[in-house]
Amino acid sequence: MTNTLQDKKEISKKLKEKAINEGFTISGIASIPGSSRLKLRTLALDRWLSNNHHGEMKWMEAERRKNINSLLEGAKSVLSVGFNYLSSENNNENKTFKIGKFAQGEDYHKVISKKLKNIGKWINREIPDCKWKICVDSSPLLEKAWAEESGLGWIGKNSNLISNKNGSWLSLGFMILTKELVPDKPHQSLCGKCDKCIEHCPTKAIIEPFVIKSDLCIAYHTIENREKTIPKIIEKNLSGWVAGCDMCQDVCPWNQSVPYNNTVETKPKEWIKNFNNDLLNWNDKTWDANLKGTTLKRIKPWMWRRNIKANLKNKI
């Protein structure tokens, strides 16, 4: 294949279309090393880490996160994709126990990886001289920054990536490529003067726009905290959350008219739809069986019991 601009435009267009055909909601391309915005995002990460806002999430300190070329030698482009995980069956209203919408269906790591592998097979056929690497969540990559650079959306004041058509109900995936492609225009922020996410966080975890202090975040404590107890300030503000927290997203104006993605992949598990304190009687084996195939397996059985009891304690 020749490397004329027209060829690059054509293959870039086909690549993004292939991503949509695989079931992704949105796709975009960024060039490496990216715009000056990436340097600013990297500096922001450094400040966040130096202030220890990441709590016990020590993997965030990986230096490789700041250098995309360390993930794939000769990297020239990034394909960024967003998977809409919002199902019409995601209903936490008036429920005693609540689980973040991102985790109610199939494990998004596996869902996204499978779709990206299919795109990889297509690349092997259409661009045989292009090497590629898949990155989904666990890779040391400035994910939201590259998604923003690719034009998928912008990083909101609650630190989530927001799309003007699909809100923030998106799980992200990436393919690093050794082929030079035509990049999309980086997205501009559309949060404006809106501070609803900041105002509605009961623990004031958003200590300033775009900055989350993890040890004040309900999602952090219900998923990442490995201590036997949950801090009092978190416990009294749980409001039913046992896995994750959607409060800052639920109030976001950009999330009020997002189309549903009612696929098998996003359909909530039955036990999640019928979550109640009877689950305190589940033994570890039962928990493991039900958590299989979900991203919720990161929360160990003893943590589920801790989170449930913390909510019940707050109701006494």
Query: Do both 14 and 152 map to the same domain?
Result: yes
Alpha helices in the chain (DSSP H): 5-21, 36-50, 108-126, 143-149, 196-200, 218-223, 232-235, 247-250, 270-273, 284-291, 301-315
Q: Does residue 101 fall inside a structural domain?
A: no
Query: Do both 129 and 204 map to the same domain?
Result: no
In the prediction, which pLDDT does 211 show? 87
Q: Does residue 212 fall inside a structural domain?
A: yes
Please identify every stretch of the chain with a pLDDT value under 70, giving residue numbers as ranges: 1-3, 42-46, 48-67, 138-140, 315-316
Query: Do both 84 and 154 map to the same domain?
Result: yes
The single residue listed with the structure tokens 């993930």 is: 71
Instruction: Decide if 157 contacts 191 (C-beta within 8 A).
Output: yes
In the prediction, which pLDDT does 85 show? 97
Query: Do both 139 and 201 map to the same domain?
Result: no
Tell me: cis bond preceding 301? Omega within 30 of 0 counts.
no
Number of domains composing the chain? 2
Query: CA 90 to CA 102: how far, in whole Å?
Result: 9
Query: Do both 140 and 30 map to the same domain?
Result: yes
C-alpha to C-alpha distances, 166 to 10, 63, 145, 264, 267, nearest whole angstrom: 26, 31, 17, 19, 18
Query: Do both 152 and 23 map to the same domain?
Result: yes
How confident is the prediction for the chain on average, in pLDDT? 90
Annotated catalytic residues are 137
Query: Do both 57 and 131 map to the same domain?
Result: yes
Query: Do both 160 and 205 map to the same domain?
Result: no
Three-state secondary structure call for residue 5 = helix
Phi, psi torsion values for 229, nearest 5 degrees: -125, 160
Query: Do both 40 and 146 map to the same domain?
Result: yes
Alpha helices in 2-131 (DSSP H): 5-21, 36-50, 108-126
Q: Does residue 185 fall inside a structural domain?
A: no
Residue range(s) defining the domain that contains residue 292: 196-315
CATH number of residue 116's parent domain: 3.40.109
Q: What is the pLDDT of residues 102-158, one digit of tens each?
A: 999 999 999 999 999 999 999 999 999 999 999 997 666 788 999 999 999 999 999
Query: Do both 163 and 245 map to the same domain?
Result: no
Query: Do both 273 and 138 map to the same domain?
Result: no
**Share above pLDDT 90 across residues of the chain, in percent, rounded to a whole number:** 75
Query: CA 230 to CA 214: how far, in whole Å?
Result: 13
In the prediction, which pLDDT does 250 show? 96
pTM for the full model?
Answer: 0.90
Residues sharing a CB contact under 8 Å with residue 198, sequence separation 6 or more, in sequence order: 157, 158, 206, 209, 248
Q: Does residue 186 fall inside a structural domain?
A: no
Query: Do both 171 and 298 map to the same domain?
Result: no
Residue 151, phi-psi category: left (phi > 0), alpha (psi -120 to 50), beta (remainder): left
- Evaluate the CA torsion angle 49, 55, 61, 67 in order and state its sign: negative
C-alpha to C-alpha distances, 121 to 18, 104, 133, 263, nearest whole angstrom: 11, 29, 12, 23
Q: What is the pLDDT of residues 262-297, one digit of tens each?
A: 999 999 999 999 999 899 999 999 999 999 999 999
